[in-house]
Amino acid sequence: MGELSRQEARLRLVVNRDEVDRISGELWHLGTLGIEEQLDGDDVILLAGFDSAVAADEAATQLERFAIVEEFGSGDYLDTWREFATVYRTGNRLVVKAPWVSYEPDGTELVLWIDPGRSFGSGSHPSTQLALAELERLLEGNESVLDVGCGSGILAVAAARLGATQVLAIDIDTAAPEVTVGNARANGVEEFIEVSTGPL
């Protein structure tokens, strides 16, 4: 889990959907170790973990109109975010689920088992769901796919499960390779996916 295990405090921010990318960018600039997104009606709740209450307080000062600081132990955070994991359906037959979430697929569905760890990519973000639907629409088999900013490897894994035979997954986050490889292995497609933190 890398840096996630060090988190001792988090910010809870409620933002309009139009502001998610901007506020997430500011959180990364302010030193967050990871961000979890939860949909809440027209808003999005961002849970941003920090390695100390001091770091979270400093970030909260910059984003005070959005932020509430919550202190907790690292294990508590890991368990807390896992409680919100759910099943996501996208495209015509893709289903994304965490390994610990129970789900009985019908015969037509293609289930992706994804544990995002501390990386981006649980399947909840609309951009991820759109990208998954496009992969399903476009891939016919034997393609080469490049996943830039792979995070959990969700798109790389989906591409391989949909028939791509050569997938390169790249991310500057040093935690991403381990998470992506783990998810590739869990989905039986590790032989088709190469993971790198190097430049394009």
Tell me: do 148 and 74 sit in the same domain. Answer: no
Q: In what order do the strands lie in the sheet with 67-71?
A: 34-40, 43-50, 9-16, 67-71
pLDDT of residue 81: 56
The reply to whether 47 and 75 lie within a common domain is yes
**154 and 100 in one domain?**
yes
Q: Are residues 77 and 153 in the same domain?
A: no
Domain count for the chain: 2
Instruction: Give the end of a domain, one of 83, 107, 137.
Output: 83
Q: What percent of the chain has pLDDT above 90?
A: 44
Residues 99, 148, single domain; the answer is: yes
Domain ends where: 83, 109, 129?
A: 83
pLDDT of residue 165: 98
Whether 53 and 101 map to the same domain: the answer is no
Mean pLDDT of the chain: 85
pLDDT tens digits, one per residue of 22-43 = 999 999 988 888 888 888 888 8
- Let me know whether 108 and 21 are in one domain: no
Looking at the fold, whether 21 and 76 belong to one and the same domain comes out as yes
- For residues 30 and 46, the answer to whether their CB atoms sit within 8 Å is no
Angstrom CA distances, 125 to 105, 129, 155, stand at 22, 6, 12
Yes or no: say if 88 and 80 are a contact pair by the CB < 8 Å rule: no
The sign of the torsion formed by the CA atoms of 119, 125, 130, 132 equals positive
Note whether 125 and 32 are same-domain residues.
Answer: no
Low-confidence ranges of the chain (pLDDT < 70): 1-8, 67-84, 118-120
Residue 112 forms beta bridges with which residues? 96
Q: What's the pLDDT at 55? A: 82
Residue 94's SS3 state is: strand
- 105 and 66 within one domain: no
pLDDT value of residue 69: 60
Predicted local confidence at residue 120, as pLDDT: 67
- What CATH number has the domain bearing residue 106? 3.40.50.150
Q: According to the model, what pLDDT value does residue 31 have?
A: 87
pLDDT at residue 3 in the model = 43
What CATH number does residue 10 fall under? 3.30.70.120
Q: Are residues 14 and 53 in the same domain?
A: yes
Residue 82: predicted pLDDT: 64
d(C-alpha 124, C-alpha 121), whole Å: 7
pLDDT score recorded for residue 83:
64
Per-residue three-class SS string for 54-74: HHHHHHHHHCCCCEEEEECCH
Domain that holds residue 130: 88-196
Residue 79 shares a structural domain with residue 124: no
Q: Of 49, 83, 117, which residue constitutes the final position of a domain?
A: 83
